[in-house]
Structure 1
Amino acid sequence: MSSNGTDLTTGFIASIVAIVLFGSNFVPLKKYETGDGMFLQWVLCAAIWLVALVVNLILHCPKFWPFAMVGGCIWATGNIAVVPIIKTIGLGLGILIWGSLNALTGWASSRFGWFGMDAEEVAKPLLNYIGAGLSVVRGCSLAVISGILYGSTFVPIIYIKDHSKRNDSIYAGASQNDLDYVFAHFSGIFLTSTVYFLAYCVAMKNNPKLHPEAVLPGFLSGVLWAIATCCWFVANHSLSAVVSFPIITAGPGFIAAMWGVFMFKEIQGRKNYLLMMLAFCIILTGALCTAFSKI
Structure 2
Amino acid sequence: MSNNGADLTFGYISCFVAILLFGSNFVPLKKFDTGDGMFLQWVLCAAIWLVALVVNLILHCPKFWPFAMLGGCIWATGNIAVVPIIKTIGLGLGILIWGSFNALTGWASSRFGWFGLDAEEVSNPLLNYIGAGLSVVSAFIFLFIKSEIPNNTCSMDTTPLITEHVINTTQDPCSWVDKLSTVHHRIVGCSLAVISGVLYGSTFVPIIYIKDHSKRNDSIYAGASQYDLDYVFAHFSGIFLTSTVYFLAYCIAMKNSPKLYPEAVLPGFLSGVLWAIATCCWFIANHSLSAVVSFPIITAGPGFIAAMWGIFMFKEIKGLQNYLLMILAFCIILTGALCTAFSKI
TM-score interval w.r.t. the shorter chain?
A: over 0.9
Give, in angstroms, the shift of residue 270 of structure 1.
Answer: 2.5
Structure 1 moving runs of 4+ over 3 Å: none
Query: In the aligned structure 1, how far is the partner of 2:5 from the partner of 2:321?
Result: 41
Give, in angstroms, the shift of residue 16 of structure 1.
Answer: 0.5
2:108 matches 1:108: yes
Give, in angstroms, the shift of residue 180 of structure 1.
Answer: 0.1
Are the equivalent residues in 2 in contact too, given 1:135–1:247 (CA < 8 A)?
no
Q: Any idea what the Cα deviations from partners look like across 1:175-200, whole Å, max 9, x if unmatched?
A: 00000000000000000000000010
Give, in angstroms, the shift of residue 40 of structure 1.
Answer: 0.2
Query: In the aligned structure 1, how far is the partner of 2:100 from the partner of 2:239?
Result: 22
Identify the range of structure 1 (188-197 vs 264-273) with the bigger mean alpha-carbon deviation. 264-273
Give, in angstroms, the shift of residue 278 of structure 1.
Answer: 1.3
Give, in angstroms, the shift of residue 269 of structure 1.
Answer: 2.2
Query: In the aligned structure 2, how far is the partner of 1:31 from the partner of 1:19?
Result: 22
Point out where structure 2 has 5 or more consecutive residues left out of the alignment: 138-188
Query: In the aligned structure 1, how far is the partner of 2:37 from the partner of 2:49?
Result: 18
Number of the residue aligned with 2:251: 201
Query: In the aligned structure 2, how far is the partner of 1:135 from the partner of 1:251?
Result: 11
Point out where structure 1 has 5 or more consecutive residues left out of the alignment: none
3-state DSSP of counterpart to 1:61: coil
Query: In the aligned structure 2, how far is the partner of 1:133 from the partner of 1:223?
Result: 32
Query: In the aligned structure 2, how far is the partner of 1:75 from the partner of 1:275?
Result: 29
Query: In the aligned structure 2, how far is the partner of 1:269 from the partner of 1:84?
Result: 24
Q: Any idea what the Cα deviations from partners look like across 1:78-137, whole Å, max 9, x if unmatched?
A: 000000000000001101111111001100000000000000000000000001111222
Percent of aligned positions that are identical: 91
Query: In the aligned structure 2, how far is the partner of 1:261 from the partner of 1:141?
Result: 22
Query: In the aligned structure 2, how far is the partner of 1:2 from the partner of 1:81?
Result: 43
Query: In the aligned structure 2, how far is the partner of 1:143 from the partner of 1:272?
Result: 19
Number of the residue aligned with 2:71: 71
When Rg is computed on C-alpha atoms for both structures, the one with the higher figure is 2
Give, in angstroms, the shift of residue 277 of structure 1.
Answer: 1.4
Query: In the aligned structure 2, how far is the partner of 1:235 from the partner of 1:285?
Result: 19
Q: Let me know the Cα RMSD of the aligned residues.
A: 0.9
Are the equivalent residues in 2 in contact too, given 1:136–1:250 (CA < 8 A)?
no
3-state DSSP of counterpart to 1:224: helix
Query: In the aligned structure 2, how far is the partner of 1:149 from the partner of 1:253?
Result: 17
3-state DSSP of counterpart to 1:136: helix
TM-score by length of 1: 0.99
Give, in angstroms, the shift of residue 272 of structure 1.
Answer: 1.9
2:335 matches 1:285: yes
Query: In the aligned structure 1, how far is the partner of 2:301 from the partner of 2:313?
Result: 18
Q: Any idea what the Cα deviations from partners look like across 1:45-89, whole Å, max 9, x if unmatched?
A: 000000000000000000000000000000000000000000000
TM-score by length of 2: 0.84
The correspondence for 1:156, drawn from 206, 228, 237, is 206
3-state DSSP of counterpart to 1:127: helix
Give, in angstroms, the shift of residue 274 of structure 1.
Answer: 2.0
The correspondence for 1:244, drawn from 294, 297, 317, is 294
Give, in angstroms, the shift of residue 271 of structure 1.
Answer: 2.5
